[in-house]
């Protein structure tokens, strides 16, 4: 009874599991594998609180396989080897391989990941890894090549409402109380698609109430979270609001606002790499061609964080945030790719003009691939007029330079070349 609500409501079978229907719904890939009684090693990639650990536990239970779990935060190579030795002793002929679940596998060092290779390759264990980071960058290639990767999504509104109603109706504690969910927008917004955070907020609000019935409103949820000293959480709640305020301060050219919201994230324990990624995005989306150096600095910030670590990394983040906020702004590159994608959606797969195609074979040359292509460097100023768009959209303008010194200079250069364009 002392368990948190999120733990009490943890499902024990796939039918009770909410969300990720693309993986566990009827005829979905993971469900079919579990029902067949055999699963390969795989990695579950998704944001916090979407059911990665729960799914691993359900699969192990369904397969009736020995289940071992390690946390990449607290386990070393020695722990990995000990688990593998135990798995060997628990493996019997024609039985399902023991399952080793590693939470936050992206935090494992190369040596730790290397220590898993032989056991995974020979079937001593079936590895299930869980990560919030892109495994292409964080998991070594030899291990990744031996694992399937399944992407879990943040829970949508209907999933979260289902979770709330399930908890109110079926939890051993909440079902005994008279609780009315009058409004749900705030609790869903602050959960950020995280089931665990959603249930933690619900429990926080309910425990703070002494009167019966308990009426849950948006105002009450916001009030309780503001009173809670842990209101900022990198997995949900204020997370999305604060990162939004941070980026909008940079976009709005307010370095004071940018540093304040950065400080809120640093004090709240936000992942520095998450902040650095958003700075790189902002440098391209909001500063763009108005100051191309912004992207170079943001990328250098990301690299420096990996080398320097914490807490000194906060200074690098601060320098970059101030520089981006103080830079001239342009979203012309952002608008250009969006307009181009919209054009692609509307026009479909238009043919590449023959003169722009490669002709590596004699047959392609006979079909006029590459014929009449003009090699720009053979001409004065390394330029000659030539059409680069499909004939159906010739002369279509996509990139529109904006009125800042950097883009004005680029546009002037292009007008000198093209005469009638830009």
The CATH number linked to 111 is 3.40.50.300
214: pLDDT strictly greater than 60? yes
pLDDT at 9: 92
What lies within 8 Å, CB to CB, of 18 at 6+ separation is: 11, 51, 155, 159, 162, 163, 166, 195
Q: What is the mean pLDDT of residues 228-240?
A: 52
Q: Is residue 397 part of a domain?
A: yes
How high does pLDDT run on average in the chain? 87
Arithmetic mean of pLDDT, 153-163: 91
* β-strands 42-45, 148-151 pairing: parallel
Structure tokens at 372: 């009449």
Exposure string over 257-274, b if 16+ CB within 10 A, otherwise e: bbbebbebbbebebebee
CATH for 203: 1.10.8.60
Tens of pLDDT, residue by residue over 289-303, are 999 999 999 999 999
How would residue 94 be classed by pLDDT, with cut points 50, 70 and 90?
A: low
Q: In this structure, are 96 and 44 located in the same domain?
A: yes
Tell me what the mean pLDDT of segment 406-418 comes to: 90
381 within a domain of the structure (yes/no)? yes
Percent of the chain residues past pLDDT 70, beyond the cut: 95
**Pairwise CA distance, residues 132 & 76, whole Å:** 20
Q: Are residues 177 and 208 located together in one domain of the fold?
A: yes
Which of 234, 256, 290 marks a domain boundary? 234
Same domain, 210 and 115: no
What would the mean pLDDT of 377-381 be, rounded to a whole number?
A: 88
Residue 346 has pLDDT above 90, yes or no: no
| Domain annotation covers residue 4 | no
Domain count along the chain: 4
Written as one string, the DSSP assignment of 248-264 is HHHHTT-HHHHHHHHHH
The bridge status of strand 232-233 relative to strand 126-131 is unpaired
Segment 92-100 shows an average pLDDT of 73
| Residues forming a β-bridge with 150 | 44
Phi, psi of 195 (to 5 degrees): -65, -45
In a domain, 256, yes or no: yes
Tell whether the model's pLDDT for residue 127 goes beyond 70: yes
Provide the pLDDT confidence category of residue 237 given band limits of 50, 70 and 90.
very low
Per-residue confidence band for 227, with pLDDT thresholds at 50, 70 and 90: low
Pairing outcome for strands 126-131 and 99-103: parallel
> Do residue 64 and residue 111 come from a single domain?
yes
Range of the domain at 208: 157-234
Instruction: Give yes or no: residues 215 and 258 share one domain.
Output: no
Across 240-268, average pLDDT: 89
- Residues 46 and 134 placed together within one structural domain of the fold: yes
């Amino acid at each position: 009874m002392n368990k948190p609500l999120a733990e009490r409501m943890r499902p024990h079978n796939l039918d009770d599991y909410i969300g990720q229907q693309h993986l566990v719904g009827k005829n979905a890939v993971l469900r079919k594998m579990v029902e067949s009684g055999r699963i390969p090693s795989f990695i579950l990639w998704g944001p916090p609180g979407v059911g990665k650990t729960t799914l691993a536990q359900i699969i192990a239970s369904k397969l009736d396989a020995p289940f071992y779990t390690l946390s990449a935060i607290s386990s070393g190579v020695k722990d990995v080897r000990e688990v593998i030795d135990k798995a060997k002793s628990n493996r019997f002929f024609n039985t399902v391989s023991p399952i080793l679940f590693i939470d936050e596998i992206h935090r494992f060092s190369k040596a730790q990941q290397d220590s898993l290779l032989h056991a995974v390759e020979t079937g001593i264990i079936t590895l299930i890894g869980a990560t919030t980071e892109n495994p292409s960058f964080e998991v070594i290639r030899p291990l990744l090549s031996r694992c399937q990767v399944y992407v879990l999504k943040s829970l949508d509104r209907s999933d979260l409402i289902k979770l709330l109603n399930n908890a109110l109706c079926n939890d051993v504690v909440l079902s005994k109380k008279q609780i009315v969910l009058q409004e749900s927008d705030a609790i869903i917004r602050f959960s950020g698609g995280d089931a665990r955070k959603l249930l933690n907020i619900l429990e926080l609000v309910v425990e703070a109430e002494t009167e019966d019935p308990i009426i849950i409103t948006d105002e009450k949820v916001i009030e309780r979270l503001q009173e809670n000293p842990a209101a900022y959480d990198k997995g949900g709640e204020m997370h999305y609001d604060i990162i939004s305020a941070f980026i909008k301060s940079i976009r709005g050219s307010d370095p004071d606002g940018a540093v304040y919201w950065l400080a809120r994230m640093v004090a709240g324990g936000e992942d520095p790499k998450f902040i650095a990624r958003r700075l790189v995005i902002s440098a391209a989306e909001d500063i763009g061609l108005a100051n191309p150096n912004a992207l170079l600095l943001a990328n250098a910030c990301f690299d420096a964080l990996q080398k320097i670590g914490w807490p000194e990394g906060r200074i690098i983040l601060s320098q970059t945030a101030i520089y981006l906020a103080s830079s001239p702004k342009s979203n012309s590159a952002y608008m250009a790719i969006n307009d181009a994608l919209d054009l692609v959606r509307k026009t479909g797969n238009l043919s590449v003009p023959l003169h722009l195609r490669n002709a590596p074979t004699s047959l392609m040359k006979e079909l006029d691939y590459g014929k009449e292509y003009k090699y720009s460097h053979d001409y004065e100023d390394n330029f000659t007029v030539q059409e680069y768009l499909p004939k159906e959209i010739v002369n279509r303008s996509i990139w529109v330079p904006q009125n800042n010194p950097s883009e004005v200079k680029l546009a002037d250069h292009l007008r000198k070349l093209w005469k009638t364009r830009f």
